[in-house]
Amino acid sequence: MLQPDPIRIAIIGLGSRGRFLGEAIQGDSRYRLTALIDTDPDNLRGGRDYLHSSAALYTSLPQALREGDFEAVAVATPDFTHEAVAVACFDAGRHVLCEKPLEITAKGCENILAAWRASGRILLIGFVLRYVRKLRKMHDLIASGEIGRPVMAYANHEVPEGSRWYFHDWHALRRCSTGLLLQKGSHDIDILNWFMNATPVRVAASGGLNVMGGSESDNLTCGRCARSGNCPDCTTHIDHFPDLSKPIACVHRRSVDVEDNHLVIIEYDNGTRASYSECHFSSYPRRSFCVIGDQGRIETADDNKIHLTRRFPADRAVYDCLPAEGGHDGGDRLMLDDFFRAVTENAPTLADGSAGRISVLTAIAAHRSMREHRMVEIEEIEAEIEHVDNLQSAAV
Ligand SMILES: NC(=O)c1ccc[n+]([C@@H]2O[C@H](COP(=O)([O-])OP(=O)(O)OC[C@H]3O[C@@H](n4cnc5c(N)ncnc54)[C@H](O)[C@@H]3O)[C@@H](O)[C@H]2O)c1
């Protein structure tokens, strides 16, 4: 059988994620990395050097879309830019692998999905966890009825590297990320939605900024204060910090306004429920998922194993799922497989736009719930999209 030509792809955003994605793309012979795009010339050159790439370089996305030789893009720019970047790419006829979260506002999600539908191109959301073998296996066991009807679930992520990835830059500002339940938790919320095979309808949450944040100056940079020798979050103690060549902001600066620990309860449209907790200063790395059905229970935590138990007749099974090679327990490589298949066969993706949208809406509702101390309906967030639409059409 004739092999399809490699997909000519550009990476937009050469920060930490763009560079890791670039490595995965370069390691896959079905892709040819033909362009690198970043509005910051230093990051663009840094990304090129990191990847030892001879791809064309652009600091202007419009110029790259006019002149560049690529049919697909991987969007790895900050969350608050996804709408402008993804819509421009769809309008220019490119397939889009868009990093999670889809956007930081509900309206931004709608606009991306509208541009995607109008373009007839492929959209894949960077929900790498869906591609991790053990989570895929766990999903398939639930979907095949092994625990009966899923009724409740809980998930937890203790992020010991929370301060490394989330509190030194734009991630820690509500205006750029909305909050970390959306920024990071959209992954875990998506997995819960996928496992439960149901749509969230309301959310209750509690959260706070209890360890990060503080009263330091916004100009204070890491490693330059008297406390840095004893500070667990000082980047000079952290191996492989993304880019130490630039000054890095202190996690205790005044402007930090996202929460660093959260507890969330989600109710689904079929009367079932799930909970999720996320902590950004734990000393122990832990990510776990458990689903309990009317006939059994399934769980995975710190290793490659899935534990399945059944109520009647009592029974138990353990599945060992070795990860594929590459980043995110092999998820990056398997995600690129799915994107390749979708583009070459014009097929749906495992992580599609509707999954991206509902995880954003759920996380927005959770942030609102914890900040306003009330349960929030997803309908409330959706109604606001219509309200913005009505205001816009009234203004025309
Ligand atoms: N799927 C995953 O597991 C995963 C992991 C990490 C990050 N991410 C996502 O990847 C995205 C990037 O995160 P990051 O940590 O690499 O951020 P970053 O700040 O390290 O890098 C972002 C880069 O985008 C560039 N940029 C900003 N605006 C741009 C624009 N309009 N056009 C072109 N370039 C622009 C910046 O100059 C920077 O080089 C985020 O959406 C994040 O959520 C996903």
What is the 11 CA–ligand 1 centroid distance (Å)? 10
CA–CA dist 349, 351 (Å, integer): 5
CATH of domain 7-129+329-349: 3.40.50.720
With the most atoms of ligand 1 within 8 angstroms of its CB, the residue from 63, 77, 181 to mutate is 77
- CB of 13 shorter than 6 A to ligand 1: yes
CA–CA dist 189, 143 (Å, integer): 18
Average pLDDT over residues 132-140: 97
Q: What is the residue-averaged pLDDT of the chain? A: 94
Tens digits of residue pLDDT in 295-344 = 999 999 989 999 999 999 999 999 999 888 888 889 999 999 999 999 99
- CB of 365 shorter than 6 A to ligand 1: no
Per-residue confidence (pLDDT) for residue 238, from 0 to 100:
66
Record the pTM: 0.95
Give start-end residues of each CATH 3.40.50.720 domain in the chain: 7-129+329-349
Q: How far is CA 319 from CA 68, 154, 281, 295, in A?
A: 46, 20, 31, 18
> Of all residues in the chain, what percent carry a pLDDT higher than 70?
95
Tens digits of residue pLDDT in 261-296 = 999 999 999 999 999 999 999 999 999 999 999 999
Tens digits of residue pLDDT in 84-126 = 999 999 999 999 999 999 999 999 999 999 999 999 999 999 9
- Residue having the nearest C-alpha atom to atom 1 of ligand 1: 126
- CB of 85 shorter than 6 A to ligand 1: yes
3-state secondary structure (DSSP) of residue 67 = helix
Give start-end residues of each CATH 3.30.360.10 domain in the chain: 131-322+360-381
β-pairing verdict for 286-293 and 273-279: unpaired
Is pLDDT of 162 > 80?
no
Is pLDDT of 14 > 70?
yes
Residue from 49, 54, 69, 61 nearest 13 by CA: 61
Is 230 exposed, middle or buried, given 0-12, 13-18 or 19+ CB atoms closer than 10 A? Answer: exposed
Is pLDDT of 227 > 90?
no
**Token pair 């429920």: residue:** 273
- CB of 15 shorter than 6 A to ligand 1: yes
Is pLDDT of 177 > 70?
yes
Average pLDDT over residues 386-394: 64
CA–CA dist 109, 228 (Å, integer): 40
The domain defined by 131-322+360-381 folds into Dihydrodipicolinate Reductase; domain 2 (3.30.360)
Per-residue confidence (pLDDT) for residue 192, from 0 to 100:
98
Per-residue DSSP letters for 215-267?
SB-TT-BTT-STTGGG-TT-GGGSTT-S-TTS--B-TTBTT--S-SEEEEEEE
First to last CA, the chain: 53
Question: Is residue 384 very low, low, confident or very high in pLDDT (cuts 50, 70, 90)?
Answer: confident
